[in-house]
Amino acid sequence: MTTAVTGATGQLGAHVIAELLWRGVAPTEIVAVVRDPDKAADLAAQGVQVRVADYSDPAALRAALAGVDKLLLISGNDLGRRIDQHTNVIEAAELADVKLIAYTSVLKADTSGLSVAPEHLATELRLTASSIPAVFLRNGWYWENYFAAIPQAIESGKLFGAAGEGRIAAATRADFAAAAAVVLTTEDHGGKVYELGGSDRITYAEFAQVISSASGEPVEYQDLPEAEYAAVLSAAGLPEVFSTMLSTSDAGIARGELDTDSGDLQKLIGRPSTPVADAIKPALG
Ligand SMILES: NC(=O)c1ccc[n+]([C@@H]2O[C@H](COP(=O)([O-])OP(=O)(O)OC[C@H]3O[C@@H](n4cnc5c(N)ncnc54)[C@H](OP(=O)(O)O)[C@@H]3O)[C@@H](O)[C@H]2O)c1
């Protein structure tokens, strides 16, 4: 059984490969598909097969997926180009006769108004049309997404956002990776849609309280209109594309699009997700 992971030099991919190894998969049965082999030297040193392919290179993808049974397609980060890129990976998997594709999508991809959702939905639809059984890992937000904001919140005493009273069920990359590794190493996941969210489902006001307790500093949530929040982020030096993505994401949180009570993450990993207070520790300095 050979298991391939694309985006293997990324943050989620690194966790997935570590989880596969921890679950007893032989390194020689893991294929790390990477676009920059220099970044994969540690994987090669552990005996993992490193194969080089960019999502934009169909021929390289075909070669990289030769002999692969199960594939985790980690969504790329080239916003706006991902439908073609992901389609290339799926077509290469079809030619390589891959038996299962797991795809890292986004929570509620079929109804979400988040700006990132249409590319995920298009990829899901392409996978549904494929002859290869697919499983959708609809990941919620990573707690790590807030690591840049947390020190600023502690410093200023204000956590800014535009999520209103909306709840977010985020989880750590490591927990989402653990779920992906379970799906890759156990059976009967083809055709499943997993809505993956963390066990702590909290508002930003509650998140501010968590940051406050963890840091010992007073932090309160300051809710802003979406456009005003985008302006605050841009003024803090964020490129406009990220300011827009974060502010529109918060609007999605206000609509409940990054919250779920499905329990799917917990069922897959066999435990509650890492508590938010523990998840944010690396950001406390
Ligand atoms: N749930 C969330 O909160 C959240 C937040 C941000 C992103 N995401 C999505 O989840 C994915 C994984 O998250 P992450 O934290 O691991 O992101 P990441 O660290 O940016 O990793 C993305 C991976 O995709 C690879 N990649 C991007 N474009 C590629 C291409 N054209 N060809 C081949 N490989 C390509 C990157 O390769 P290199 O290592 O060479 O750069 C990297 O390994 C992201 O790419 C994005 O789609 C989710």
Mutate which of 6, 74, 105 to test ligand 1's pocket (most atoms within 8 Å of Cβ)? 74
Eight-class DSSP state of 281: G
Both tokens of 56, joined, read 């934009």
For 105-161, the three-class secondary structure string (H helix, E strand, C coil) is: EECCCCCCCCCCHHHHHHHHHHHHCCCCCEEEEEECCEHHHHCCHHHHHHHHCEEEE
Ligand 1 center–CA 275 separation, angstroms: 24
What atom in ligand 1 is closest to the CA of residue 55? 32
Alpha carbon nearest to ligand 1 atom 13, residue: 12
Per-residue pLDDT of the chain (285 residues; tens, 9 = 90+): 999 999 999 999 999 999 999 999 999 999 999 999 999 999 999 999 999 999 999 999 999 999 999 999 999 999 899 999 999 999 999 999 999 999 999 999 999 999 999 999 999 999 999 999 999 999 999 999 999 899 999 999 999 999 999 999 999 999 999 999 999 999 999 999 999 999 999 999 999 999 999 999 999 999 999 999 999 999 988 899 889 989 999 999 999 999 999 999 999 999 999 999 999 999 997
Distance of CA 211 to the CA centre of its chain: 22
What atom in ligand 1 is closest to the CA of residue 57? 32
Length of the chain, in residues: 285
Ligand 1 center–CA 43 separation, angstroms: 17
Is the whole model's pTM more than 0.85, yes or no? yes
Both tokens of 153, joined, read 């919140």
Collapsing DSSP states into helix, strand and coil, what is residue 195? Answer: strand
* Domains annotated on the chain, with CATH: 3-139+173-195+261-269 (3.40.50.720)
* Contact indicator for 1, 20 with CB cutoff of 8 Å: no
Ligand 1 center–CA 79 separation, angstroms: 10
Alpha carbon nearest to ligand 1 atom 29, residue: 76
